[in-house]
């Protein structure tokens, strides 16, 4: 008769907090354990190693510009797993701090491709030049409806000044008393866009590594801008 008593395993330490584990249940292939401190279930050995890969490892490689397949090769996991983990991380990821009122902002856009080079997509973003924080990101066509999402957020935050290039659409969206198109007025955000193209391989000008879906591009940009430390300009 099999004994179902729970016994402490002297050799099994928790993968998460490094404390002692106890045997929990029974499996035909591998024994299941439960940590006595953090109460997480785990096994001594895993058939597939993705269970031991942390989100921080994926985030670090994503922010360093590694693509889906290169991340999978480095961490020894499948590209499908990398995609699922990146999308899960970015699901509820928003700006790390609230928008400050009465600030000066810069707005600009850059272009990339989704799926193939016949599908051109605009990445519009806004930046606080003092804190160097990206306030908002909008992906899609460079039209009035998409750029309005960026401008509306800044106007509602009681912006002191909104600086853009001389694109005609901005004249209709930004209140005249707030709008500025002075020479070299968007240098900071243009430098930020240059950093984007330098750091993220999928945004390089001449590449075949562009994103295959707009959802994936949005997730990578959110992780790049809003997870952990701020990007150094």
Q: Look up tokens 């243009």; give the residue.
A: 190
Kindly report, residue by residue over 54-108, the tens digit of the pLDDT.
Answer: 889 999 999 998 999 999 999 999 999 999 999 999 987 877 677 888 899 999 9
List the domain range (segments joined by +) for residue 121.
Answer: 104-212
Closest CA to 142 of 115, 116, 164: 164
Residue 166 domain-assigned? yes
Task: Report how far residue 24's alpha carbon sits from residue 6's, in angstroms, rounded to the nearest whole number.
Answer: 6
Task: Report how far residue 149's alpha carbon sits from residue 229's, in angstroms, rounded to the nearest whole number.
Answer: 26
Task: Report how far residue 173's alpha carbon sits from residue 149's, in angstroms, rounded to the nearest whole number.
Answer: 10
Residue 172 domain-assigned? yes
Kindly report, residue by residue over 113-164, the tens digit of the pLDDT.
Answer: 999 999 999 999 999 999 899 999 999 999 999 999 999 999 999 999 999 9
pLDDT tier for residue 15 given thresholds of 50, 70 and 90: confident
Torsion sign (Cα): 195, 196, 201, 206: negative
CATH assignment at residue 187: 3.30.420
Residues 39, 64: one domain? Answer: no
pLDDT tier for residue 227 given thresholds of 50, 70 and 90: confident
Residues 113, 66: one domain? Answer: no
Residues 111, 154: one domain? Answer: yes
pLDDT of residue 230: 45
Token pair of 227, please?
Answer: 């997870």
Total tally of structural domains belonging to the chain: 3
Whether the predicted pLDDT of 11 surpasses 80 = no
Residues 139, 116: one domain? Answer: yes
Residues 116, 206: one domain? Answer: yes
Residues 53, 34: one domain? Answer: no
């Amino acid at each position: 008769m099999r004994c179902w008593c729970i016994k402490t395993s002297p050799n099994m330490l928790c993968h998460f907090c490094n404390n002692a584990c106890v045997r929990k249940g029974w499996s035909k292939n591998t024994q299941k354990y439960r940590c006595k401190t953090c109460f997480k279930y785990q096994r001594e050995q895993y058939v597939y190693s993705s269970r031991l890969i942390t989100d921080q490892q994926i985030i670090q490689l994503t922010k360093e510009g590694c693509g889906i397949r290169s991340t999978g090769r480095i961490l020894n996991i499948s590209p499908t797993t990398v995609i699922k983990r990146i999308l899960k991380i970015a699901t509820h990821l928003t700006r790390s701090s609230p928008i400050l009122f009465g600030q000066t902002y810069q707005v600009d856009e850059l272009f990339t491709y989704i799926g193939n080079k016949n599908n051109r997509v605009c990445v519009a973003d806004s930046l606080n030049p003092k804190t160097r924080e990206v306030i908002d990101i909008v992906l899609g066509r460079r039209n009035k409806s998409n750029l309005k999402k960026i401008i509306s957020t800044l106007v509602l935050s009681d912006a002191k000044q909104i600086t853009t290039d001389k694109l005609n659409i901005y004249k209709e969206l930004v209140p005249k008393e707030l709008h500025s198109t002075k020479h070299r007025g968007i240098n900071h955000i243009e430098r930020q866009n240059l950093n984007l193209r330098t750091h993220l391989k999928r945004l390089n000008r001449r590449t075949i590594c562009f994103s295959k879906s707009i959802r994936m591009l949005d997730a990578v940009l959110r992780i790049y801008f809003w997870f952990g430390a701020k990007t150094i300009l």
